């Protein structure tokens, strides 16, 4: 049994299906005719982190303690990278590796530092230390020889490129990633997991330029053909999953959540005259008509970084904590209650907490913003770390930002933004053909463990997608087995943690 997971960050069936039907994506069209395919419902919020974490663990954010790239540290107003606030949960490759399966992981966004595994690992684009990019460490030299590039990480270079060069660079990065993938496919493996980030990056910037965007989907289409041809030339027929962490759509309208809270007397800012002037300037520059006029100027090498610096300054929200009941720091729709006894300068009493949450959610509903209490969408040991309220985006409101100073709760925006409906394609000797299916992002991990006849942890939230398997496949006939939690497992997990911390 071999299983390969091909991650396409941000890929949406809203574009793949029509373009495939029109013959513009021939490999996608072929794959869908030979597979089970449909939408893959993302996490809440539908953001790269926690979506890939949920996919890799089969668990909701409340069980893995991961709600966004950065999240509020308990008992503090500090926001930190999520991995610094919780213990790491087992990913699917950890479980398979422990069972003796050979695995490789390449560019998984939820891997910030490579670690020991039964195989090879290359961390994702959030890895900031080259010494922690690979396992084994000597793999780094092989990557350097292949001129590997995980992402465009320099914001000044990234921000100074025109659309044509921006497009070319991302295709170049995908080409480099493919070279490494092909090397991994030549090594012994049972399970492989890798992610192309190209589609996510270009859709944020190029969503309204469909011809250019199509060229990127066609680039991925070509790469999929090359990958599958490479595998089949080696005489192998693995089961292949092509998945995305979330979908994509137009970003026409943004909701300014902190402006909403200010207007209702729930948040008060410190007075900073210079910052207020900057915000008014940026508010003017962000208007679509103005942005269109100044776009040619922004391609000048020293202008774009200056523009980015100014806009980043205005994203900081100087809060008067002793006069604030609720606040948002995230750009994807989360609200925290400034609770007394929980936050350093909290003012909302415990008996008023639920009433305030209900009032905020009701007020959001009046302006067509759907919002949830954290316990309505999450559960698990890290529920207390979750934002108190989580907002949804949809076709009405496409994105959420915490920036202030725009003088409005809604602003016109640009580019593309995330949607809940990601991509799911499953193809292989054990998979049914030309069947539509809708799945959840947490279903992938238990499904793959079942395929390897490996007991599934009881605390996984996802379900085995038995409906995708051919009736005559042994996998379809196999009973789903769940792992029995015992004291031995806890001891092994504890020893692994101590070893990772270099205490034993």
**What is the dihedral angle through the alpha carbons of 86, 87, 91, 96, rounded to the nearest 10 degrees?**
180
Contact 346, 277 (CB under 8 A): no
3-class DSSP state for residue 123? strand
Summarize pLDDT for 339-395 with one digit per residue, the tens: 999 999 999 999 999 999 999 999 999 999 999 999 999 999 999 999 999 999 888
239-to-36, 260, 270, 395, 438 alpha-carbon distances in Å? 12, 48, 56, 34, 18
**pLDDT value for 492:** 58
Please, which residues have CB within 8 angstroms of residue 346's CB and are 6 or more apart in sequence? 338, 339, 340
Say which residue, 294 or 14, is predicted with more confidence.
14
Q: What is the distance between the alpha carbons of residues 256 and 277, in angstroms, rounded to a whole number?
A: 18
* Neighbouring-strand partners of residue 319: 269
- Please report which confidence band the pLDDT of residue 31 belongs to, taking 50, 70 and 90 as the band edges: very high
Instruction: Out of 87-101, 150-164, 431-445, pick the least confident.
Output: 150-164
Strands 421-427 and 239-243: antiparallel
The pTM is what?
A: 0.87
Summarize pLDDT for 272-294 with one digit per residue, the tens: 665 566 556 656 665 555 555 55
Name the average pLDDT for the chain: 88
**pLDDT value for 299:** 46
Instruction: Out of 294-308, 368-382, 476-490, pick the least confident.
Output: 294-308
**pLDDT value for 416:** 93
187: how many CB neighbours lie within 10 A of its CB?
11
Instruction: Domain ranges for the chain, please list them.
Output: 3-250+418-499, 253-417
Count the helix, strand and coil residues of the chain and give each as a percent rounded to the nearest 5: 45, 20, 40
pLDDT beyond 50 at 50? yes
CATH 3.20.20.70, applies to 3-250+418-499? no
């Amino acid at each position: 049994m071999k299983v390969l997971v091909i991650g396409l960050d941000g890929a949406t069936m809203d574009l793949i299906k029509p373009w495939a039907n029109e013959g513009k994506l021939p490999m996608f069209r072929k794959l869908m005719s030979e597979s089970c395919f449909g939408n893959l419902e993302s996490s809440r919020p539908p953001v790269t982190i926690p979506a890939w974490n949920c996919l890799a663990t089969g668990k909701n954010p409340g069980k893995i303690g991961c709600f966004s790239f950065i999240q509020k540290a308990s008992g503090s107003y500090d926001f930190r990278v999520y991995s610094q606030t919780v213990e790491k949960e087992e990913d699917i490759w950890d479980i398979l590796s422990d069972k003796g399966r050979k695995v490789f992981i390449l560019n998984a966004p939820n891997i910030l530092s490579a670690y020991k595994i039964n195989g090879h690992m290359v961390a994702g684009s959030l890895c900031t230390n080259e010494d922690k990019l690979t396992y084994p460490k000597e793999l780094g030299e092989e990557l350097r020889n292949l001129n590997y590039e995980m992402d465009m990480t320099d914001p000044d270079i990234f921000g100074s490129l025109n659309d044509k060069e921006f497009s070319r660079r991302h295709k170049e990065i995908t080409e480099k990633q493919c070279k490494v993938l092909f090397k991994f496919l030549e090594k012994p493996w049972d399970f492989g997991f890798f992610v192309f980030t190209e589609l996510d990056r270009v859709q944020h910037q190029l969503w309204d330029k469909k011809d250019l965007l199509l060229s990127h989907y066609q680039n991925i289409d070509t790469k999929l053909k090359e990958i599958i041809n490479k595998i089949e030339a080696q005489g192998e027929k693995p089961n292949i999953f092509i998945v995305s962490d979330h979908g994509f759509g137009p970003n026409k309208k943004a909701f300014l959540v902190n402006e909403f809270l200010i207007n209702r007397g729930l948040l008060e800012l410190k007075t900073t005259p210079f910052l207020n002037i900057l915000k008014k300037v940026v508010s003017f520059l962000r208007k679509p008509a103005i942005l269109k006029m100044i776009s040619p100027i922004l391609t000048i090498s020293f202008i774009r970084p200056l523009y980015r610096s100014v806009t980043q300054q205005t994203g900081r929200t100087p809060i008067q904590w002793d006069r604030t009941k609720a606040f948002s720091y995230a750009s994807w729709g989360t609200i925290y209650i400034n609770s007394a006894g929980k936050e350093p300068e909290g003012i909302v009493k415990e008996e008023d907490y639920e009433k305030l949450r209900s009032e905020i959610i009701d007020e959001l509903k009046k302006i067509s913003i759907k919002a949830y209490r954290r316990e309505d969408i999450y559960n698990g040991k890290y529920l207390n770390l979750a934002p108190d309220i989580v907002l949804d985006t949809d076709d009405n409101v496409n994105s959420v930002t915490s920036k202030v100073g725009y003088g409005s709760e809604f602003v016109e925006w640009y580019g593309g933004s995330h949607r809940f409906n990601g991509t799911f394609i499953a193809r292989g000797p054990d998979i049914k053909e030309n069947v539509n299916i809708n799945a959840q992002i947490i279903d992938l991990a238990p499904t793959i463990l079942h395929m390897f006849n490996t007991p599934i942890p009881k605390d996984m939230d996802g379900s085995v997608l038995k409906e995708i398997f051919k009736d005559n496949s042994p996998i379809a006939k196999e009973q789903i087995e769940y792992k029995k939690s015992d004291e031995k497992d806890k001891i092994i997990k504890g020893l692994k943690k101590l070893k990772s911390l270099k205490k034993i």
